[in-house]
Structure 1
Amino acid sequence: MTTTAFGATSTASEVVEGVDLAGRAVVVTGAASGIGVETARALALTGADVTLAVRDVAAGGRVAADITATTGNRGVRAAALDLADIASVEAFTRAWRGPLHVLVNNAGVMFTPESYTAAGWELQFATNHMGHFALALGLHPALAADGSARVVSVSSSGHASSPVVFDDLFFDRRPYDPGLAYGQSKTANVLFSVEATRRWAADGITSNALMPGGIWTNLQRHWDPAVLAATKARVAEAGMVPKTAEQGAATSVLLATSPALAGVGGRYFEDCHEAEVVAEVVDGVHGVLEHALDPVAATRLWEVSLELLRTSSPGR
């Protein structure tokens, strides 16, 4: 088990103290809100050139300006990226120039109403997994050019609600359940890290996944208001203190920068430590289930994802 000097209450800025990434390039998806903003801010503190890959470029530009103002780093910019649109992902990767040191797959959607992309993919799987898979694949040459690159995928304890259901990825044969759809997309995030590390470690690329912790952000915007209010009440009654955005970003930033994690990949972290493999998630938050780390499922998911991309590409 990999442990560090940091913990559940550590902030992203604390994690990067003393880290120097001047001259290195970093991409953070979904960095216009929530923990993505604080992930990008902390990475900017290292001196890295930080690209905020966002759907709303105007909002991303405002965040970039704020990060520059608070960190003094003028190498922060926003660029258009819609993970649910593979053409947008391909445009982003085609436009990229130079080596890439860190890719933080932070963006995500949660518990969305039943909806599908133009490719026919269920929206949560499409956004949370397929868009990031295509992005990492397209940026692989840039990551390999860096020589010691890292890919960080923000997963969730929600992975416990479902493995990847290969026989019915898009709910064609079962009633749509937003929680199960979210769960399999978060399992896919972990499996991606397992397989990416296996395939790309020889290129100097490692990948890890993480649970940011219990934190209230815009991610919960699709929850039923009554359910959200009841959940917040239960959390308060149990004496559990939600993390701040700065604390929620800490594990992402740790995986992206910590010298202690050089060469470490294919694992799932929480509270700045590698999580324990459990049979059932503890308190709804802690631990990782075996199905999310299954190397056979990881290889299968990679191959299935490649085929989905192949058959969805325009003109093919």
Structure 2
Amino acid sequence: MTQHRITSPFGAASTAAEVLEGIDLRGKRSIVTGASSGIGLETARALATAGADVTIAVRNPDAGRGVADDINTALGQERVAVRTLDLADLSSVHRFAEQWGSTALDVLINNAGIMATPLGRTRSGWESQFATNHLGHFALANALHDALAHANGARIVSLSSRGHLSSDIVFDDINFDNREYDPWLAYGQSKTANVLFAVEATRRRAHDGITANALHPGGIWTNLTRHLPENVYNSLRADPTAEYKSPQQGAATSVFVATSPLLRGIGGRYFEDSNQAVRYVGGPERVGVADYALNPESAQRLWTLSLAAVDG
């Protein structure tokens, strides 16, 4: 059966505020991970401005409190709260979920991430980008299942990237034990994992009213680029053909997927520029979503592997 593609009047230049115009989020609760700067900060600001109660989940609570204070002061009311969360530490993830409890959660935005880092491993041996970008958010979403189910129509939003086009999941060697480490391939497979998570989470959780989607926010200069070698960073900044978004524009697709009535009951899809992405067919444009990122068999395999990883 052909899937109806979700389209909207918004595009690459749209901002989060424009996407949310006319949408009333009063009474809605949301969590945004990694919201102390960049896209996450602007996502939290936009949701709170539209009336949502927002919890920003961050590794550095001092930075988080500064963000919350700024937004709350601007709004003249306490809309944003801060809680500590380290996605690379499963005990921190479980602590966060226990503190939240079963209070209804309408939107979980898995925004935090790292990119192109030097080789690192968790105490359990997982490659750090896969662990932080995928496993940590996988554990968080599962730990918050009851809270999401209680919302009766909750949405999980996972920030993937066009970088997923660089690599499928290499199931036989996710951790680069038997191949030379490439930070971009590691980033790519972690971003593919974000899309596959949305596919399988929707299949497993839709009966509880929970749907999940993934997205590419666009090219934005944020703290995510902090691990890039200086020569790579400089060449990217100097590229006259490259088009970059502001953080406010980068947050637009996140809030679109999180709140648009067009996505009610819709899950397992990948969006860019506030529209469902087309199928990637190759070429230098690197636009769209790879078939392997939506593969249901891979999604199930990844879920089983991830469950064993976070429960082990």
Map of 1:314 onto structure 2: none
Of all paired residues, the percent bearing the same amino acid is: 58
CA distance in 2 between counterparts of 1:173 and 1:222 reads 24
Check if 1:142 corresponds to 2:131. no
CA distance in 2 between counterparts of 1:281 and 1:73 reads 49
* Deviation for aligned residue 1:65: 0.7
CA contact (8 A) 1:45 1:73 kept: no
Check if 1:288 corresponds to 2:289. yes
* Deviation for aligned residue 1:310: 1.9
Pick one of 47, 51, 76 that aligns with 1:47.
Answer: 51
Check if 1:89 corresponds to 2:93. yes
* Deviation for aligned residue 1:118: 1.4
CA distance in 1 between counterparts of 2:28 and 2:135 reads 26
CA distance in 2 between counterparts of 1:129 and 1:211 reads 15
Secondary structure in structure 2 of the residue aligned to 1:146 = coil
Pick one of 23, 36, 39 that aligns with 1:32.
Answer: 36
* Deviation for aligned residue 1:232: 1.9
Q: TM-score, normalised by structure 1?
A: 0.95
Map of 1:302 onto structure 2: 303
Superposed counterparts of 1:192-231, under 5 Å: 192-231=197-236
Check if 1:276 corresponds to 2:278. yes
Secondary structure in structure 1 of the residue aligned to 2:144 = helix
Pick one of 225, 228, 252 that aligns with 2:254.
Answer: 252
Letter in 2 for 1:129: H
Check if 1:179 corresponds to 2:184. yes
Check if 1:126 corresponds to 2:131. yes
The change in CA–CA distance for 1:133 and 1:209 in structure 2 (over 3 A counts) is: same
Give unmatched runs, 5+ long, in structure 1.
Answer: 312-316
Letter in 2 for 1:268: Y
Check if 1:17 corresponds to 2:21. yes
* Deviation for aligned residue 1:73: 4.0
Let me know the Cα RMSD of the aligned residues: 1.0
CA contact (8 A) 1:89 1:135 kept: yes
CA contact (8 A) 1:164 1:184 kept: yes
Secondary structure in structure 1 of the residue aligned to 2:150 = helix
* Deviation for aligned residue 1:303: 0.4
Map of 2:67 onto structure 1: 63
Letter in 1 for 2:35: A
CA contact (8 A) 1:51 1:79 kept: yes
Pick one of 92, 107, 120 that aligns with 2:112.
Answer: 107
Q: Deviations over 1:162-215 (max 9, x none)?
A: 111111111111111111100000000000000001111111111100000111
CA contact (8 A) 1:47 1:73 kept: no
The change in CA–CA distance for 1:292 and 1:281 in structure 2 (over 3 A counts) is: farther
Secondary structure in structure 2 of the residue aligned to 1:91 = helix
Secondary structure in structure 2 of the residue aligned to 1:28 = strand
CA distance in 2 between counterparts of 1:210 and 1:67 reads 25
Give unmatched runs, 5+ long, in structure 2.
Answer: none
Q: Deviations over 1:119-161 (max 9, x none)?
A: 2111000000000000000001000000000000000000011
* Deviation for aligned residue 1:282: 4.9
Runs of 4+ in 1 over 6 A off after TM superposition: none
Pick one of 265, 268, 271 that aligns with 1:266.
Answer: 268
The change in CA–CA distance for 1:301 and 1:258 in structure 2 (over 3 A counts) is: same
CA contact (8 A) 1:281 1:287 kept: no
CA contact (8 A) 1:190 1:293 kept: yes
Q: Deviations over 1:83-135 (max 9, x none)?
A: 00000000000110310000000000000110111121110000000000000
CA distance in 2 between counterparts of 1:215 and 1:310 reads 35
CA distance in 1 between counterparts of 2:78 and 2:285 reads 42
Q: TM-score, normalised by structure 2?
A: 0.96
* Deviation for aligned residue 1:281: 6.2
Letter in 2 for 1:178: P
Letter in 2 for 1:288: V
| Equivalent pairs, count | 307
Pick one of 153, 158, 161 that aligns with 1:153.
Answer: 158
* Deviation for aligned residue 1:272: 0.4
